[in-house]
Amino acid sequence: MSSNAKVFVYGASGYTGKLVAESLAARNIPFVCAGRNRERLEQSLDIVQDRLGRPYEAEIAVANNTVEELLPLLRDIDVVINVAGPFMQIAWPVVEAALQADCHYLDTTGEQDWVLAIKDQYGQAFADKGLLLNPANSYMWAAGAIAAEVVLETEGVDSLDILYQIDNGLPSEASTKSFLRMVCNDQFYLEQNELKPWPHDMIAQVSTPHRNRMLRALPWGGACEPVWYMDDPRVINCSVLTAIGEHIVDGVAQVIDAFNAQARDLPQEQKEAWTNAAGDQMDSGEPPKDDLDVQRSIIVCNGQGRNVTTRFVMNMSAPYTWTGEVCAEAAERLLDGKLQQAGFQSAAKAFGHRELLKAFHSGDFCNLPA
């Protein structure tokens, strides 16, 4: 592909893809808007322009997610941002093509098994080339990793207990399918340097610093922070729960109960088909863009050691919008040569958590103590 664009957004026609495209366009970072359907890509760019309030041109590339079709399109690309999931089902060729084309790879997934799988299969290969392999470069689970790094600044902390709390969570179609396949499969936390599975019907009562009532939370796929820290000598325990919103917990719990009764012991391929079908039934179409005053959120990270405890609370609104912003921030830093650690890394380790806190501190949708 010959253009001045060095960023390639695959899955740009989806809900999160449009937000990533909007954030790139707002920063005037040229990008390729890529996916499998030209008409949908063109419609997505129209929406991006409407949101920006000004014209913006981006190159469109149509390709199936195969290495053969993607490789020629990545010839002049430096950064691939993959927003097409469920990732464990369809994203393997995108990672392989990025590696072969010497591109940094980012995605927005929260699928814990995917993150573990590409860590094992591709982490060293990307590191050997000085490239970043950064799944979950999104609200979930980059924000928690930033909060965790702040907590780990306190000497002696070796255990992390993280809670995501979201008002009026509105998972998109792709997110719904990704999260359903996660919550209906094994979900892990880190205990004494070992990944251990949560109970399959786990729902916990949790407290948050700003509410007088208890909320219900789930492992929500296990999260990626336990994966980020499983080989980190500073951390021996790490668990993550998510209070996605009382309006959605009952529906998710019903799906989990049905999965446990009908599909828990099926072969993996049939499990995946079951959760895809459940996602189709729950999907009510693409939600509106999240709102600063509706989708408010906090991330609470508690830290503990032998004789020390500490807490960091990160206020953040419009999580999907922040996902677009952190993807654009990462792309801009990669293009500017500001990568701090190559290979399999969280955004916090790849770019520095204090640097990211400073970058986002002034944003309208988040107030992060610097």
Fold of 7-138+320-367: Rossmann fold (3.40.50)
Query: 215 φ, ψ to 5°?
Result: -120, 160
pTM: 0.94
Query: In this structure, how many other beta carbons lie within 10 angstroms of the beta carbon of residue 320?
Result: 25
Specify whether the CB–CB gap between 134 and 346 falls below 8 A.
yes
pLDDT band at 367 (very low <50, low <70, confident <90, very high): low
Q: Where in the chain is the domain with CATH 3.30.360.10?
A: 144-318
Answer whether 221's CB lies under 8 Å from 183's CB: yes
Burial 34-72 (b: 16+ CB within 10 A, else e): bbeeeeebeebbeebbebeeeebebbbbebebebeebbe
Q: State how far the Cα of 51 lies from the Cα of 184, in Å rounded to an integer.
A: 36
The Cα 201–Cα 257 span in angstroms is 7
Put the strands of the sheet holding 157-166 in their side by side order: 194-197, 188-191, 237-243, 157-166, 296-305, 309-317, 366-367
Q: Which tens digit of pLDDT belongs to each residue from 191-213?
A: 999 999 999 889 999 999 999 99
Return the higher-pLDDT residue of 144 and 110.
144
Could you tell me the CA-to-CA distances from 19 to 43, 61, 136, 181, 350 in Å, in that order?
14, 18, 15, 23, 22
Q: What is the pLDDT of residues 89-103, one digit of tens each?
A: 999 999 999 999 999
Give the integer Cα–Cα distance in Å for 156 and 139: 27
CATH of domain 144-318: 3.30.360.10
| Matching residue, tokens 């799988």 | 117
Dump pLDDT digits (tens) for 165-184: 999 877 766 777 777 888 77
- Indicate the range of 112-116, 250-254, 308-312, 353-357 predicted with least confidence: 250-254
**What gap in Å lies between CA 224 and CA 112, rounded to an integer?**
6
**Is 368 a residue whose pLDDT tops 60?**
no
Within the chain, which residue ranges are assigned CATH 3.40.50.720? Answer: 7-138+320-367
Q: What angle do CA 32, 36, 42 make, to 5 degrees?
A: 55
275-300: b or e for each residue (b if 16 or more CB lie within 10 Å)? Answer: bbebbeebeeeebebbeeeebbbbbb
Residue 34: predicted pLDDT: 97
* Contacts of residue 30, Cβ cutoff 8 Å, sequence gap at least 6: 3, 4, 5, 6, 7, 58, 59
12 with 24: CB under 8 angstroms?
no
Q: How far is Cα 64 from Cα 354, in angstroms, rounded to an integer? A: 38
Cα(314)–Cα(300) distance, integer angstroms: 6
**Using alpha carbons only, how large is the chain's radius of gyration in Å?**
19
Q: What is the per-residue pLDDT for 28?
A: 95
